[in-house]
Amino acid sequence: MTRLAAHTALVTGAGAGIGRAIALRLAAEGAKVAVNDLSPDRAAETVALIEKAGGEALPTPGDVSSPEAVEAMYSTAESAWGRVTLAVNNAGIVHQAKLEDLAVEDFDRMIAVHLRGCFLGCRRAINPMLAAGQGVIVNIASQLGQIGGIELAHYSAAKAGIIGLTKSLAREVSSRGVRVNAVAPGPIATELVMALSDDWRAAKTAELPLGRFGAPEDVAATVAFLASEDAKIYVGQTLGPNSGDVML
């Protein structure tokens, strides 16, 4: 498929899980993909998978909570291919704790990676897009940012912030040619989610109308749609591949 052949994409947190699935899907649809991950080895692994399938990619490792690292990853992509036309802010971490036991350091790190990282990615991507009068930003939130999550208050707060950031930015820039939307997955069978307690996963599965977690590829398909012209009138939306956990 070549639906996204006009795009040069940068996907954060693309060394595994949802991010890797997104990078692979975008590349399969024709986009060039800059692959970010905190781990250089994981970023390189995703690049190798894309290249093996005949796509074009390059690694841009770095910490998304660092302005200097975000600048470096965008500069690398721009040096190779020119302007980044599609920014997917996906990088995230998971940590489980009741709020009464939650350390300030764990709260701060959750906000730094998810919300600050999303903000920095949006801020770095937006000016070249506005100068060109076109571009797409997709921010990865979570259904827990809409309904909250037991023992995941800090995660839920960070994801709710991403949804608010997405809506605000969409209102600022849509009239100038840049589309901004969010994806709020439900529980997805990734390494991060499977690291949560057995009790948590069992309880969440029981709550889902579909009765099962989704796959990273389900989220990737949603991102590819939002990146495409098929989604040309989607602005400030939060799409929910969530097994029915949230129904709007």
Per-residue pLDDT tens over the stretch 203-241: 999 999 999 999 999 999 999 999 999 999 999 999 999
Contact 14, 47 (CB under 8 A): no
In the chain, the amino acid numbered 40 is P
Q: Residues 50, 155, 159, 184: which is the catalytic one?
A: 155
CA angle 32, 33, 36 (to 5 degrees): 165
- Our answer to whether residue 155 is catalytic in this structure is yes
Please write the tens of the pLDDT for every residue from 115-167: 999 999 999 999 999 999 999 999 999 999 999 999 999 999 999 999 999 99
pLDDT digit string, tens, across residues 160-203: 999 999 999 999 999 999 999 999 999 999 988 888 899 999 99
Q: Which two tokens stand for residue 25?
A: 């899907």
What is the pLDDT, as a whole number, of residue 164? 98
How far is 56 from 66, CA to CA, in rounded Å? 26
Q: Residue 124 and residue 69: Cα distance in Å, rounded?
A: 11
**17 Ramachandran zone, left/alpha/beta (phi>0; psi -120 to 50):** left
pTM of this prediction?
A: 0.97
Whole-number Å distance between alpha carbons of 209 and 27: 32
Mean pLDDT of the chain: 97
